[in-house]
């Protein structure tokens, strides 16, 4: 499993699709899962920028994993986002349910992220929501990346301000060097 992490707008979904297509891997975007499966009041809250609870997220990811051949490589985009989710994932890895190949942390400047998100035109991409996503990233995701590092997991920081093809090339080189 290859995990893509980063703030909304850093290019996780674009890179997930490119990377998975390039290497023939399955691609799971938790954002796409949530937009497809979350309904009612929780969907309204999600569109307003509120994150789903750890339990809700873990249940949706676990359900998705239960329907896959986990012996094959996959790209996971947007999960985990909190330390509780990271701990759940590490338990899945330590129990040999999942194999972790690499974590890519796509780092992008606030200016680039804001421009990208406003340009894609989704309903939940407003300046207020974008600022909230940065706060969530800084308060929850960055500490979780440090958690992975403390667990001995290699995390590759990728400059996501580059063009999509440059980011993809950087990731492919790192995977190739890891496999050689």
pLDDT for 160-178, tens place per residue? 999 999 999 999 999 999 8
Query: Looking at beta carbons, which pairs linking 44-48 to residues 24 or more positions away fall under 8 Å?
Result: 46/124, 47/123, 47/124, 48/124, 48/129
Count of alpha carbons within 13 angstroms of residue 131, beta-carbon side: 3
Its pTM stands at 0.90
Q: Which residues is 158 bridged to in the sheet?
A: 106
Domain count, the chain: 1
CB neighbour list of residue 171: distance below 8 Å, 6 or more residues apart = 15, 19, 104, 156, 158
- Tell me: the pLDDT tens digits for 117-163? 999 888 878 888 888 888 988 998 889 999 999 999 999 999 999 99
Structural domain including 97 reads 2-179
Count of alpha carbons within 13 angstroms of residue 3, beta-carbon side: 27
Q: Which helix (H) or strand (E) holds 101?
A: none
Q: What is the CATH number of the domain that holds 44?
A: 3.40.50.300
DSSP-based three-state secondary structure for 59: helix
pLDDT at 21 > cutoff 80: yes
């Amino acid at each position: 499993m290859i995990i893509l992490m980063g703030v909304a707008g850093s290019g996780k979904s674009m890179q997930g699709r490119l990377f998975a297509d390039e290497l023939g891997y399955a691609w799971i975007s938790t954002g796409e899962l949530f937009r497809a499966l979350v309904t009612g009041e929780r969907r309204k809250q999600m569109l307003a920028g509120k994150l789903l609870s750890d339990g809700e997220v873990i249940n949706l990811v676990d359900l998705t994993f239960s329907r896959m051949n986990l012996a094959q490589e996959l790209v996971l985009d947007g999960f985990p986002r909190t330390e509780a989710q990271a701990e759940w994932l590490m338990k899945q890895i330590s129990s040999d349910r999942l194999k972790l190949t690499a974590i890519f942390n796509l780092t992008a400047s606030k200016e680039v992220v804001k421009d990208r998100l406003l340009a894609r035109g989704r309903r939940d991409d407003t300046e207020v929501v974008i600022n909230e996503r940065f706060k969530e990233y800084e308060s929850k995701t960055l500490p979780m990346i440090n958690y992975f590092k403390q667990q001995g997991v290699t995390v590759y920081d990728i400059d996501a301000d580059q063009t999509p093809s440059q980011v993809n090339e950087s990731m492919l080189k790192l995977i190739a060097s890891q496999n050689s």
